[in-house]
Structure 1
Amino acid sequence: MLELAGLLVLGFFAQWLSWRIKVPAILPLIIIGLVVGPISTLFTGDEGYLVSKGPKLIDGDSIFQGKVLFDVVSLAVGLILFEGGLTLKLSEVKVLGKAVRNIIVIGSAVTMAGGTVAAMLIMDFTLQTSLLFGSLIIVTGPTVIGPILRNVKPNFNITTVLKWEGILIDPVGALIAILTYEFIISGTAGAQIGWIALKTFAITIAVGIAIGWATAWLGNLLINKELIPKYLQNIVMLGLVISSFALSNSIQHESGLLAVTVMGMALVNMKTSNLKEIISFNEDLVIILISFLFVLLSSRIDIVDIELVLTTNSFILFAVVVFILRPLSVFLSTWGTNLTLNEKIFLSYICPRGIVTAAVASIFSISLFQSTDYIIPLDEAAMLLPLVFLVIVGTVVLQGLTAKPIAKLLGVTRKEPNGVAFLSADESARFIAKILQRYNIPVLLADTSKANTREATMQQIPVYEGSILNEEAWEEVDFAQYGQLWAMTPNAEINALACRILGEELVKDKTFRFISNREQETLNKDDYPKNILFEGRADFIAFSHFIRKNPEVKEKQVNSREEVLAILDAAENKGKVIPLFVINDKNFIEPALALTPLEVGKENKFIYLQIS
């Protein structure tokens, strides 16, 4: 019990640490697992430090043993793949750009074929083991790409390609790895890859697809027909995922992973009601599973396994994967696109492997050791997991540390964005967004209210239904063109929280909010916070009343801050003017703030609202 609790605590600590130091969560998860697992044996021996190997501080094999370990890890991986399948919409695949589509199709083929050949030539693996390795290194994933993109801030083309590659390659790559594995293990010790293997492989595919689609159809029916209450929908869907996994495996061995992946893909394309809530629930569940799963799996590795892969050949294989296969796949996939040479070079460099790679490799490793058919040699099976972990840790560390300076060297970092993201899509936010659109300023509204987002859509304002404070928003939305946040909700605490949290993600000191009624009543104007919108002249309620009076949008050329203040302080404007922003010749806006001096230069436009 103590070790199980330790796994959870360490997993949650690793998640917090990844957020704090802005690295993909998989890196601290694996490192902490290695520290409390195999590395700890160097310090726990009876004869002291680095002399004799002692017991592990935490050993995954002692927590879950034999078939229980396989079932726990296999089910956890199934839930991770189900969540990944929920991201794959066929409508998005149809409209993907040529570069992204080719990287998914051509890039995956090049990576798998190249990884297979490299593993055979460099590591002297059998064809079966090499195929498994080649299929496992396909996946990157949004959980590792996202933090790198937020840190590097590359231009729009690179951000778009890497973001969509990460989202789509997650379920697609996992599906390829699962099918490859099924194909390999379907060959018996005598038949190898022959007719029996092909027949078993075909049955596995058919069962997985059939069960996955059938359970998705059932779940869609139960929810859309309101046959279960809303508060039970997430739990019922979780039960269906587990049932799909178990039923598929009971009909055809090892078809469960395929079934749950297909189930997720089918659900998202059936337009199931309340799917956002289901996705959100599964994302939270997957974070919990990942938090303990990867500390558990890392702790299972023995120090001998680490020594096996810390060889010259292993590092040569790593170099081939990163510096030969990735550039080859990118340049072949982007042939004839509008990407520049420097953009292709940077895309060639970024290929961190992620959580799905580690999860699927772990389940394969456990399964291979429990098999009595010995489809691949046991010494190669022992090397497969640590070798994949070497690729994961190596790519995340190397590219996480060097991506930013390389992007600057290649000149592919994005210019300072001039767009505005709004935390709200209500009447006030929509009003300001429409004004900004007149000046060709990119805008994005974000709100959890369906009514508000529906109205924004009707007014042809870009909108995201959900909270941009959540991590998934940064995976689904390209924030590369938004350099400011305007928090305009009626809740002052949420506005302040959003400015504090997103101040680390957006351009520094570019998060602004409504003044609160309490601040207006208790503070002198000179003591107003520095990120208050509209000179602090209106809180949410006052601004809402003001715009309902149909104010006129005014524009005046200004050359200094004094000219702006003169307009605001004119006697005829008392109580009839709300300052909005100043826009310069480069189409950048500066909100009218309470204390911070406006950056007003020559021939800038001052935009304000006036009631006649």
Structure 2
Amino acid sequence: MATGVEGALPPIAAFALVGALGVGAQWLAWRLRLPAIVLMLIAGLLVGPVLGVFDPARDIGALMGPMVAIAVAIILFEGGLTLNLHSLRDAAGGVRRLVVIGAPLGWLSSALALHYVAGLGWEASAVFGGIMIVTGPTVIAPLLRQARLSRRPAQLLQWEAIVNDPVGALAAVLAFEVVVVLDTALTVNEAILAMIVGIVLALVLGLLGGWGLSAVFRRAWVPEYMKVPVLFASTLAVFALSDLVLHESGLLAVTVMGLFIANANLPSYAEMRRFKEHATILLVSGVFILLAANMDLETLRTLDWRTAAFVAVVVLVARPVTVLISLAFSPVPWRERLLVALTGPRGVVLVAVAGLFGERLAAMGIEDGARIAPLAFALVAATVVLHGFALMPLARFLGLAGAETPGVIVVGGSRFTTAFAEALQKVEVPVLIADPNRARLRRAREAGVDTFYGDILSEAAEHSVELVSYATILATTDNDAYNTLVATDLAPEFGRENVFQLKRAKQTSQRHALPPTLGGRVFGGGLGFYDLNSRMTEGWRIRTTRLSGDFTLEDWREQSPEAILLARTGPGGLRIVSGEDPRTQPGTVLISLVPPPDGPKPG
């Protein structure tokens, strides 16, 4: 391991360094719009084998193994929580094919590539091949937002990643169980019996754990503020108990437990899953830094031409063959099949799970286990970088790129929102108006604005609306409580800085004011629903104005002192105005609500 610095870091300093590097790399990636996984890989390798500042085996010691095992158990449990079988039944036929046919084919093709190209033995190839089914849901989402794909290929890639996340982990766990049993059993009959016992035990403990938690939560035997801690403690308990009875069966148990809870229709499921996602991001970051720092230079030198050939075969042969066979004779057009076939980025979950299983296989005397982690790093780094730069040009070449400009979803149809949507379309910003009242969408449909008839928070919207093509939410209905609900619910997905709502009618009253943690930023110049629409009735209109070197924001403000600035678009993209005037430059287009030239007119 890394030995460039004499003396070990204190454990507390080591833990702090791991957290700072993991979270810092993700923040820097967000700022620079780069794949976070690449920056985490660079950070881990720099402090580990390159500079020798941090050596997990030296600085953390015996705690590293249990820490990684527990982190991977929680990651797999959260992966199980993402798989709602009802959503899978409702998904497109292409998604079902990619899961039902594609997962086994991907497992087989990946194992063949590992054995015949990378040179791994069958045991390591079978385990790692199962993990390679996972295409990385945490990596796919940012790529789709960046590439602005058309709705159907984006849905295929997104749902495949979500569903195959636990499926791939489950395949790896089962393959590992088989390897463990075959390695420790004396006869074939003992091996089969031990494998059956292990799988049955893990299934029973996982189902019992999921059923018990669901029953306790549904009967309100646990207060709301303790549900997530109880969830964590129960996950660790099931993992430890299953491992105690039969070694290495705990990962399968917690995955099954997550699957059960995901399909139990618990009222607080969304909040629990959201918190689990946040915890998983921290754990994945930590595990990734630990595994990268734990690699030594000798292991890195094993990444030779066979590694490059392995990555090339996975990207250019194994993935395309798997997808094209899975989608054969399906209604999915050939262009979309080709795009999905050539897009398969792997993420940090693959590295975390591969690192754990690689160490376990190596500890069992299977030498190829030590090569799994570096191969996983190479595959993840290569696919993330490749697809990060190639997905958008490929989508454009195939004619499957959506709008290049991030769109706006306006919740609530009205005279004002229709006029605002028309102004956005005028400056080539995609816009969608959603409303559960069909009559309120009539004006928007007549104006040629895209609409969604239904509740934007419904499951139907999740499947029908291409959310990945939109970056901003405006909640503009006549119901302040619903606007606040929409803004609060969608803020984690879109970012609180991109979620807006009309000013609440009684926000200035101390008795009715809501805490700042609820709702979005104020939109519409501080006016409410009825104020804005009454102005439209009086003859106010939405106007777009282009600034230049000779006509600045100050000139516009002097010319239109009563105008209400709503948004601006230009080189920096669309920005909704909330509060003070924004920074502008020549070429910026202002979108504002202006009074009629001769004063207000009666409606």
TM-score, scaled relative to structure 1 = 0.73
Q: 1:333 to 1:142 in 2, by over 3 A?
A: same
1:230 positional shift: 1.3
1:390 positional shift: 0.8
User: Paired residue for 1:478?
Assistant: 466
1:384 pairs with 2:372: yes
User: Paired residue for 1:435?
Assistant: 440
Q: How many percent of aligned residue pairs carry the same amino acid?
A: 30
What are the equivalent positions in structure 2 for 1:481-520 lying under 5 Å apart? 482=470, 485-488=473-476, 514=502
CA distance in 2, matches of 1:544, 1:223: 42
1:238 positional shift: 1.1
Report if aligned partners of 1:78, 1:257 keep a CA contact under 8 Å in 2.
yes
1:198 positional shift: 2.2
Q: Quick one: which amino acid aligns to residue 183 of structure 1?
A: V
Q: 1:185 to 1:154 in 2, by over 3 A?
A: same
Report if aligned partners of 1:15, 1:28 keep a CA contact under 8 Å in 2.
yes
User: Paired residue for 1:522?
Assistant: none
What are the equivalent positions in structure 2 for 1:164-179 lying under 5 Å apart? 164-179=159-174
CA distance in 1, matches of 2:358, 2:463: 30
Q: 1:24 to 1:142 in 2, by over 3 A?
A: farther
User: Paired residue for 1:283?
Assistant: 277
1:35 positional shift: 1.4
CA distance in 1, matches of 2:41, 2:125: 23
Q: Partner of 1:335: helix, strand, or coil?
A: coil
Q: Partner of 2:34: helix, strand, or coil?
A: coil
User: Paired residue for 1:64?
Assistant: 60
Report if aligned partners of 2:435, 2:455 keep a CA contact under 8 Å in 1.
no
Q: Deviations over 1:234-286 (max 9, x none)?
A: 11111111111111111111111111111111011111231112112211211
Q: Partner of 1:352: helix, strand, or coil?
A: coil
> What RMSD over aligned residues (CA atoms) do the two structures have, in Å?
4.4
Q: Partner of 2:217: helix, strand, or coil?
A: helix
What are the equivalent positions in structure 2 for 1:186-265 lying under 5 Å apart? 186-188=181-183, 191=186, 194-265=188-259
CA distance in 2, matches of 1:141, 1:391: 12
1:13 positional shift: 0.4
What are the equivalent positions in structure 2 for 1:42-441 lying under 5 Å apart? 56-66=52-62, 68-188=63-183, 191=186, 194-309=188-303, 311-371=304-364, 374=365, 376=366, 378=367, 380-415=368-403, 420-422=408-410, 435-436=440-441, 439-440=444-445, 441=449
CA distance in 1, matches of 2:58, 2:128: 27
CA distance in 2, matches of 1:483, 1:23: 18
CA distance in 2, matches of 1:504, 1:227: 33
Q: 1:34 to 1:533 in 2, by over 3 A?
A: closer
User: Paired residue for 2:551?
Assistant: none
Q: Quick one: which amino acid aligns to residue 312 of structure 2?
A: A
CA distance in 2, matches of 1:388, 1:560: 51
Q: Quick one: which amino acid aligns to residue 439 of structure 1?
A: A
Q: 1:6 to 1:280 in 2, by over 3 A?
A: same
Q: Partner of 2:101: helix, strand, or coil?
A: helix
Report if aligned partners of 1:155, 1:413 keep a CA contact under 8 Å in 2.
yes
1:16 pairs with 2:27: yes
Q: Quick one: which amino acid aligns to residue 250 of structure 2?
A: G
User: Paired residue for 2:42?
Assistant: 31
Report if aligned partners of 1:420, 1:442 keep a CA contact under 8 Å in 2.
no
1:98 positional shift: 1.8
Query: Tell me, which stretches of 5 or more residues in structure 2 are unaligned?
Result: 1-11, 418-433, 506-520, 546-563, 568-575, 582-587, 593-599
CA distance in 2, matches of 1:474, 1:279: 16
Report if aligned partners of 1:443, 1:482 keep a CA contact under 8 Å in 2.
no
Report if aligned partners of 1:486, 1:513 keep a CA contact under 8 Å in 2.
yes
CA distance in 2, matches of 1:274, 1:315: 46
Report if aligned partners of 2:566, 2:591 keep a CA contact under 8 Å in 1.
no
Report if aligned partners of 2:436, 2:455 keep a CA contact under 8 Å in 1.
no
Q: Partner of 1:186: helix, strand, or coil?
A: helix
1:485 positional shift: 3.6
Report if aligned partners of 1:4, 1:63 keep a CA contact under 8 Å in 2.
no
1:423 positional shift: 6.7
CA distance in 1, matches of 2:403, 2:332: 17
1:341 positional shift: 2.5
CA distance in 1, matches of 2:240, 2:464: 31
CA distance in 2, matches of 1:579, 1:3: 50
Q: Quick one: which amino acid aligns to residue 54 of structure 2?
A: I
Q: Quick one: which amino acid aligns to residue 342 of structure 2?
A: Y
Report if aligned partners of 2:14, 2:60 keep a CA contact under 8 Å in 1.
no
Q: Deviations over 1:177-204 (max 9, x none)?
A: 1111111111135748x33222222111
Report if aligned partners of 2:76, 2:166 keep a CA contact under 8 Å in 1.
yes
Q: Quick one: which amino acid aligns to residue 134 of structure 2?
A: V
Q: 1:216 to 1:540 in 2, by over 3 A?
A: farther
Q: 1:544 to 1:198 in 2, by over 3 A?
A: farther
Q: Partner of 1:421: helix, strand, or coil?
A: strand
Q: Quick one: which amino acid aligns to residue 21 of structure 1?
A: L
1:31 positional shift: 2.1
Q: Partner of 2:302: helix, strand, or coil?
A: helix
Count of paired positions: 511
